[in-house]
Structure 1
C-alpha cells in the first residue's frame, strides 16, 4: 500500500513496526513484508531527505560533526549523503577473540553479504584477486575491493515506497517518542504526528533510525523504566566511528601499475576498485589511491590542469596549468572524453602515468569507554531530551593509523612495486592524523551485540536484552568498527533480522536462532 495516514496506521494491527526509513529500515521492512509479515514503517521525516533536526550537546574538544552534517531524516535517511561505498567485513574482524567481540561467526555474517549486495545493487565479488605481482606484500592485502551502489538507489526506493501497492505501510512525519509495555514485551509505539500522540500496535518493534536516534530512545526508556533493559549499563558506551584522511603519497616504479587501483566498470555497469588492507596489529586500515589535487600544477598533468581551469583556478596559477595542457594535450582530451562519457554518479577518474598519487585511508576506531552518549536530562513521559555526546580518537587509534602507514611503506619497499612517501616524524604524523580525525556519520557500538547483558545491549539476533520483542538494526549493534564502511553490513543484519522475525512468527519459540 505504501504511504498511509496516521488514522490508518493507528487502527492497524501489525506484526512489525519499524522505526526509521533509512537503509536498514527499508531493507528490513521490504524483506519482512515479502515473508508474509504485516509491516508499518514510521519515519520522522518527510517524503524527501532533509538535514536531521535532532539536538545534541557536545563535550569540549569533541571530534564529532554536527547532527545537521551527518544525518538526514525522510524516506531513505542518510542514503541521501551516503558515499555509496559497499565494503564487507573481513574474516579477521570476527577472529581476534578480544573484548569486545562478535557473538556470531564470520560464516553466519557472510551468509547475508550476498543478499545485502543485491539489495544495494552491487555484485558480491568483493575479493577479485590481487593483480599480478601484488600477491606477496608482507601482511598487506591487495585483493579486496569496494563497489559503488547506483546513484539512483535512493530515488528508486522513494518511488517504490510511494507507488508500489505491495509495499509495507509507511507513515511519515511521525516521531517515535516512547514505547508501550506489557511486562517485558513492547506492545506498541507512541508517535508524535502533527502535534498529536498516536499509538501504534505491533507484535515486534525494531529501531533502525541510525545509532544515535536508536540510543536516544533506548536511553529514554531505560530512564523511564529502571531495570527493564538488562544491558542498560552498556547502552551508549564505547561510541566508535572511523578515521579518514590522507598523510601520504605513493609513487610506482612502473607508472602503469596505478591502473591496478583505478575504478573499473564490471559487466553489470558497477564501478569498483581495489583497496590495500593492513591487518594486525590493530587498528586495521584500508587504503586507496586518488589523483592529486587538480588545482596544484605540480602534478604536470594536462588532464588535471584542464579540470582545474574548468572549475576556476587562481590567476597566478593559470600560466602553469596552460603549460601542463600544452605538454600533455592527450591528457586534456581525456578530460573532455571522460566528462562526455560519464553520467551522474560516476566515480572520480584515477589519472594514469603520474609521478605520485594521494593515498587516502579509512581506519578502524578502537573502542574507548570515555566515548559515550547520554541524555542531557531526564526524559518526560513523551519527551526525548537532547543527547550529550563525548567522542574522540585516543592515542592507540591514532598511533595505530601511523603504524599502518609504516607497515604499508615497508611492504611496498620490500615488493619493489613502489614507495610510500611520509613527510615527518611519527609525532608530526600523529598531529596530521589528529587534525583531520572527525566522524559521527557511522555511529557504531552504541547498543553493541554481545553474548550477555554484562557485555552488550542486544543479543546475537539484535534483540534488546531483557525484552521479548524489541530489536535494534543499525551500526549501533556492531561491537567493532573494522576498517569497512558500514552500510553493506547494516543491510546484511537487517535482512538477517527479517528472516529471524519471520521464523519467530511461524514458531512458538520467539527467540529461536536463525536457521
Structure 2
C-alpha cells in the first residue's frame, strides 16, 4: 500500500515490525526482500511519486572543499531516489577491494567478497541485468565486432574489467506495483521526512522516528527494527539526533560523517590509436546508445592495472575508459551551454543563467564548431580522450558535518569537505603511465598527456562521479567504524544502516548494484533475526 502522511492527522503514531528510511535502491530492495514474511514493514520516503521543488530543496547544502560537489542535484528526493537518473553501469566489487592493503591506511572490510557471492544473483535481477557473466572472454566469443576491436592487453600490468548495463532500472517505477499491492504487509509513506531518531535514556535502543512533511505536520513511527537507507543523509540523521548523546547517535568515537569518499574521475590527455573504429564504442562510458548487436546483454570493457602492479606501485584500484570527443567541446562557451541544457532537461531554472549565457555568446566560434562536429560526426574534428575512474583512499578528514544554516524543516543543512590525498593523485598518474606503456608495448598507439606531475595541482576537470560513500563506514571496532559487519550501528540494538555510506573502501566500480547486494544481505540477516 502507498499512502501520504499529508493525509494523516497531526501526531499520528504508526507501528510496524521494521521501519526503513529512504525509498531508493537500498530501501526498495530491502522492502521487496522483506515482503511476504510474517512481519510488517513501513518504508518512509521524503518526497512523493514524482519530482517536487520544495522537497528537492531539502538536499541543498554547502561544499567547503577545494573540489566542489553538487549536493542539490546529484541526489533525487522522490520515490525511487537517485535511481531516477543513474546510468545503469554495473559490475561487482573486486575481491581485492575487501582486503586490507598495507599501503592504503584504513583499508579492509570486515566481510569478504565470498560473503556477498550468494547475494549477487538477486541483485542482478533487481537491476534487470540479462546476464550474470562478467568474463571478457565470454563476450568476445559472442560478439565478433568486440573480438575484432578488443585491445589485446597482456594482463601482466594492464588487465580488463567488464561492465554490464541495466536498462537502467528506475526502482520507483519497476517495483511500485509490488509494494502497492494490498496484503503485501508493506506500506510506503510519502512525504515522511525524518527529523529525529528517538532513543531511550541510554541511547542503546531506538524507540521511534519523528517525521514532518514540508508544511510542518508531524507523525511518529515506531518499530522493532529501524534501517537508515538514505545515502549521505544517514550520517546527517545520526548527527541531528543528539538529545541523548550530544555528538549524535553512533558517534561516541567521532566517526559519523567521516571518511567521505567518491570516485575520482578525470578526462585528460588524448589517445592516438591505430585500432578498429569500433574500439571506442566498447571502451566508452558515453557510447551506451549503441546497443549490443546480437541481442545479448549490452556491455562495456575497461582497462585496469592488475593487483600486483597496484601493490608494487603503491596505488589504488582504477579503471580507464575511452571517450569520443569533438573539437570545441571543452571550450568555456560549450561547457556553459551544456550546463544550461542539462538543467533545463532536469526541469529547473538554470543557475547563473546570465553568466553562462555570457560565456556562450563570448565563445560562439567554439560553440558553433562543437555543435557542427557533433551533428555531422566529421572525423576531422573527432578525438579520443582518456577517462580515469579511480578509487579514493579512506581519509578521516574527508567528511560531512552539520552546518549553521537550516532547511525548511528547521534542520541543520549538510556541509561537505571532500578531501583528496597524494595517493589519489598518484593513482591517476601511475594508471596513465601504465596504460601509455601498454599501448606502446602492443604497438596500438600512444598518449598525449596533459596532467603528468604529482606536484601539479589537480586539473579543474576532476569530478566526484556523484558516487557518495563512507560517512557511516563498516568496521568491527566502534573506534574505526559506525556499523558492524551486519550493518548494525555500534551500541544500538535495533538500528541498522544500508547503502553506500557503509562502504569502508570504494573499489573502482559503480555503486548501485553493489548497494543492492548489501541490502539483500541485510534483509536475509533481519529475516533470520526476526524469525
* TM-aligned CA distance change 1:18 to 1:250, over 3 Å: same
Partners of 2:88 and 2:422 in 1: how far apart? 30
* Matching residue within 46, 49, 61 for 2:48: 46
Partners of 2:240 and 2:177 in 1: how far apart? 33
1:496 paired residue number:
521
1:402 paired residue number:
429
* TM-aligned CA distance change 1:446 to 1:247, over 3 Å: same
2:165 paired residue number:
148
* Matching residue within 400, 414, 418 for 1:391: 418
* Matching residue within 73, 96, 108 for 1:101: 108
Give the C-alpha shift of residue 412 in structure 1. 2.2
Give the C-alpha shift of residue 139 in structure 1. 2.0
1:221 paired residue number:
241
Equivalences for residues 102-251 of structure 1 within 5 A: 102-122=109-129, 123-129=131-137, 134=152, 136-142=154-160, 144-151=161-168, 153-154=170-171, 156-157=173-174, 159-160=176-177, 163-167=180-184, 168-182=186-200, 183=202, 184-193=204-213, 194-211=215-232, 213-222=233-242, 224-226=244-246, 229=250, 232-251=253-272
* TM-aligned CA distance change 1:85 to 1:92, over 3 Å: same
Contact 2:315 2:430 in 1 (8 A): no
Partners of 1:79 and 1:321 in 2: how far apart? 32
Partners of 2:366 and 2:382 in 1: how far apart? 24
Give the C-alpha shift of residue 249 in structure 1. 2.6
TM-score by length of 1: 0.80
Partners of 1:319 and 1:505 in 2: how far apart? 59
* Structure 2 unmatched runs, 5+: 141-146, 330-363
Partners of 1:197 and 1:371 in 2: how far apart? 34
Contact 1:10 1:201 in 2 (8 A): no
* TM-aligned CA distance change 1:237 to 1:155, over 3 Å: closer
* Matching residue within 261, 265, 284 for 2:283: 261
SS at match of 2:136: coil
* TM-aligned CA distance change 1:165 to 1:367, over 3 Å: same
Partners of 1:95 and 1:222 in 2: how far apart? 34
2:341 paired residue number:
none
**Structure 1 position 452 matched with structure 2 position 477:** yes
Length, aligned pairs only: 460
Contact 2:258 2:397 in 1 (8 A): yes
The alignment's C-alpha RMSD in Å is 3.4
Give the C-alpha shift of residue 223 in structure 1. 6.1
**Structure 1 position 285 matched with structure 2 position 318:** yes
1:75 paired residue number:
79
Contact 1:55 1:387 in 2 (8 A): yes
Residues 286-317 of structure 1 deviation map (CA, whole Å, 9 limit, x = unaligned): 11222222767xxxxxxxxxxxxxxx997975
Partners of 1:406 and 1:255 in 2: how far apart? 23
313-322 vs 455-464, greater mean Cα deviation: 313-322
Residues 420-474 of structure 1 deviation map (CA, whole Å, 9 limit, x = unaligned): 413346239954x531223272221101000110110000010000001101101
Partners of 1:2 and 1:293 in 2: how far apart? 47
Give the C-alpha shift of residue 378 in structure 1. 11
Residues 41-63 of structure 1 deviation map (CA, whole Å, 9 limit, x = unaligned): 1111111134352342332x432
Give the C-alpha shift of residue 221 in structure 1. 2.2
Partners of 2:370 and 2:115 in 1: how far apart? 56
* Matching residue within 414, 422, 442 for 2:448: 422
1:14 paired residue number:
16
* Structure 1 unmatched runs, 5+: 297-311, 326-330, 333-350, 507-515
Partners of 1:37 and 1:430 in 2: how far apart? 57
Give the C-alpha shift of residue 419 in structure 1. 2.6
